[in-house]
Amino acid sequence: MIEFKNLVKKFGERTVLKGLSFQISEGEILFILGTSGTGKSVLLKNLVGLMKPDEGEIWIDGAEVQNYTENQYLEIRKKCGMVFQHPALFDSLTVFENVAFGLRKHYRLPEEAIQQKVQKALGLVQLSGVENKLPTQLSYGMQKRVSLARTVALEPKILLFDEPTTGLDPVTTNAVNQLILSLSRSLKTTSIVVSHDMQCALSIADRIIVLDQGKIVDQGTPAELRKSTIPLVKDFLSEVLELEAANG
């Protein structure tokens, strides 16, 4: 579904992505882990055309896209649903209108079809019955789910999550993780999750890639990563192992 070939991204003298190459299979849940400043979010921005790489190739669904114009990229972006760290909802619009926003902007659909798609999306994130509420009337965790519903209402083939559980309590974090898993499986989407949370990755990822200083230092299934001898991965794992030990 997605392939990066020798991707390089520079900001002045600083090279953030240093020749990254990897593939993501259709329907796969891939976690990209790393500490702050290792290029995780920059990678996503290159994927959706918000930034252009300095070198290398990006392939999405069989098309080489890194040199696409803004107009050409619009079609690619319709295949990609982006879920940001913060909900970024319109406070003056109801939940229904927030979820319908992208549908109204990108497609000419009859009102009945929009209503069906919004209801379906809210059902997928277990939020039926809050259509007429304003975002300010919802908890932060529910707002995150509304933003998820807004994204899946467009029925993207690829879901991109940028630090989806940052700032959430453990219960809400687990709920968001299970939503990512269930949505990816039920909608058969390819999902990329940029995160620094190894516990989340171990619980729902099909595969994990660990970045450090713009390079891949390790990758594999959760079971393979648990046996890693790479110092950075062992640092990530130590927190998880402590939690697992504390919880018995």
Extents of the domains making up the chain: 2-86+157-246
Task: Name the band, by pLDDT with cuts 50, 70 and 90, for residue 128.
Answer: confident
The whole-number pLDDT of residue 14 equals 93
Average pLDDT of the segment spanning 166-193: 87
Closest by Cα among 74, 16, 20, 77 to 209: 20
Distance CA 78, CA 157 (A): 9
pTM of this structure: 0.89
What is the spatial distance between Cα 198 and Cα 88, in angstroms, rounded to a whole number?
25
Average confidence (pLDDT) over 6-17: 95
Fold of 2-86+157-246: Rossmann fold (3.40.50)
What is the longest distance spanned by two Cα atoms in the chain?
A: 56
Query: Rounded distance, CA 149 to CA 117, Å?
Result: 10
Query: pLDDT value at position 107?
Result: 86
Asked if pLDDT for residue 248 goes beyond 80, the answer is no
What is the percentage of the chain residues whose pLDDT exceeds 70?
Answer: 100
SS3 220: strand
